[in-house]
Structure 1
């Protein structure tokens, strides 16, 4: 196993917050430590080291979007307008915010998440930096399938997951340019991507710009849609989320009385991605799938028997 970059990142976070080398008394916490991204907090500064191979030019553009006045109150703005190098990786610095409490799902800010997405999706493109990269949602899904193939190809659950993947159109598998790309999208929306700022009592903001870019707004609603379809998100929470998105004036096709023609393929792709990661992680841990993981694998099995609605592709 490779050594953790967290100690070096803590030192970088401390240097970003303090000018001198003396004692500071700030608390230092490692928030996440994974090969694809380590996050630490030093006092009220958060430092994130991005995945190996992160494109510096694309990250710079994403930072510019997060700092843009047009996105004030939507995306958490960075503390610096450029990433800094650290051991052949790139580091960005952010103000600390309070995340969603995973122990109290009844307090999940579904309305806030939907409202922020609606504002993100309706940001005028002419106010944003040019040449923004594509939203990376389909690429993340494809990478999840590649991990499944590499680490758990013979797991009994791998077959329905792969078969469900094969039913999706090429653009949803990152094999062709993304269809319906026309708006600024987050690319990896889940409740872990929201924080309150100022910490503790402020407004909710979206965080994590690694997958931000031009894409289909349906992809940002696809994960809660998939959870709802798999029975993992109560109908009332899904209704709260969708109603708030409509009230905030989100994308027209998603605010329609029936948004599923737009949501169907992205929700299926997120279901497959979730199932692939679940099987991969369970295999690595040497444990059986838990109840939620079985639910998403079962959903993949059902998806094979009911082909996706490709009506929007046919209308291109």
Structure 2
């Protein structure tokens, strides 16, 4: 069967590909990679070029790049530690890695991911360039705003769940180094092992937020309990500070997990509305989780 033809590159993607060719060892055909709606990513050979969202603070991004360069063995180091500009967008350059195969959930590297997060969380903020706050709470607010104008019962359930969340998020005992938007898509295999990617939300914050997405999926019945157990056990065995000193991990995870359930449901509804389609089974489970949160 002939694979479907790739759509032609947009002007911005074409310019990013040109930048990638200048650094790639063996350039090859440029490929636009799937990503969030507000970012543009192109791979050229062994180089990945990312145009960050319009409005990205270049000074914060610069600090996050410098931090990644120091997080050897934990985060993928950038090819350049300075922000480049293309088409008025801040751009960063990275070595290409192999992402997690989402078509094979049984092979998902839950233990490796947990150990990487534990190692990241153990790095003192004072050892890195001054970083902005981690982006998790701000991402929640931005995603909820995408529901503006949606008057469906599902959107109402998500808003009612959001109303049950605290308006200010404070770490239980001071801010620690936090990825800010962690999920399995934020891992790539590079060199001898897995590394964290995507520094857009790296900063000081509540480290439990980094565990909240798989916690929310587990609570919504969308993550296999054994996968959740493996992830949680590996994080705790590695000394992960987000759960230090608590016998029950949900003492720290409950509120962040609720917040991520709301964020994921809001994003799912906004995407379904944009694509003019009904919500699917997974999206329905997230909305149902919001209904349970709203009823608490």
When the two structures are superposed, what TM-score results if normalisation uses the length of structure 1? 0.87
Contact 2:181/2:210 (8 A) holds in 1: yes
- Matched with 2:228 is 238
Query: Which residue in 2 is equivalent to 1:63?
Result: 65
Unpaired stretches in structure 2, ≥5 consecutive residues: 1-9
Deviation at 1:12, TM superposition (A): 1.4
Q: Using the alignment, how far apart are the partners of 1:252 and 1:218 within structure 2? A: 5
State whether residues 186 and 196 of structure 2, in contact with CA within 8 Å, keep that contact through their aligned partners in structure 1: yes
Native 8 Å contact 1:245 1:255 kept in 2: no
Aligned 8 A contact 2:242 2:252 in 1: no
Rounded to whole Å, the distance in 2 between the matches of 1:112 and 1:35 is: 28
CA contact (8 A) 2:21 2:27 kept: no
Contact 1:161 / 1:297 at 8 angstroms: preserved in 2? yes
Query: Is the CA contact 1:254–1:262 (under 8 Å) kept in the aligned structure 2?
Result: no
Out of 173, 185, 189, the residue aligned to residue 196 of structure 1 is 189
Work out whether residues 46 and 93 of structure 1, in 8 Å CA contact, stay in contact via their aligned partners in 2.
yes
After TM superposition, give the deviation of residue 4 of structure 1 in Å: 5.3
Instruction: Give the equivalent residue in structure 1 for 2:251.
Output: 261
Alignment equivalent of 1:12, drawn from 14, 19, 30: 19
Q: Which deviates more from structure 2 when the two are superposed, residues 215-224 or residues 28-37?
A: 28-37
**Partner SS state of residue 51, structure 1:** coil
Tell me the number of residue pairs that the alignment of Structure 1 and Structure 2 aligns.
286
1:249–1:255 CA contact under 8 A, matched in 2: no
Residue 253 (structure 1) shift: 3.0
Deviation at 1:154, TM superposition (A): 1.1
CA RMSD of aligned residues (A): 1.5
Q: Which whole-Å CA distance do the structure 1 matches of 2:223 and 2:247 have between them?
A: 20
Indicate the residue corresponding to 1:310 in structure 2.
none
Is 1:111–1:245's contact at 8 Å kept on the other side of the alignment? yes
Corresponding residue for 2:163? 166
Q: How does 1:32-111 map to 2 (within 5 A)?
A: 32=34, 35-68=37-70, 71-111=71-111
State whether residues 164 and 301 of structure 1, in contact with CA within 8 Å, keep that contact through their aligned partners in structure 2: yes
1:15 to partner: Cα distance = 2.0
Q: Hey, what's the Cα distance between the residues in 1 that align with 2:107 and 2:43?
A: 24
Distance 1:34 1:124, change over 3 A: closer
Structure 2 CA distance for partners of 1:136 and 1:34, relative to 1, 3 Å: closer
Q: Which moved more, 1:45-54 or 1:252-261?
A: 252-261
Change (3 A) 1:238 1:34: closer
Alpha carbons 2:213, 2:261 under 8 Å: kept:
yes
Q: How does 1:111-126 map to 2 (within 5 A)?
A: 111-126=111-126
8 Å Cα contact 2:118/2:241 also seen in 1: yes
Aligned to 1:248: 238
Gaps of 5+ in 1: 19-23, 173-177, 307-316
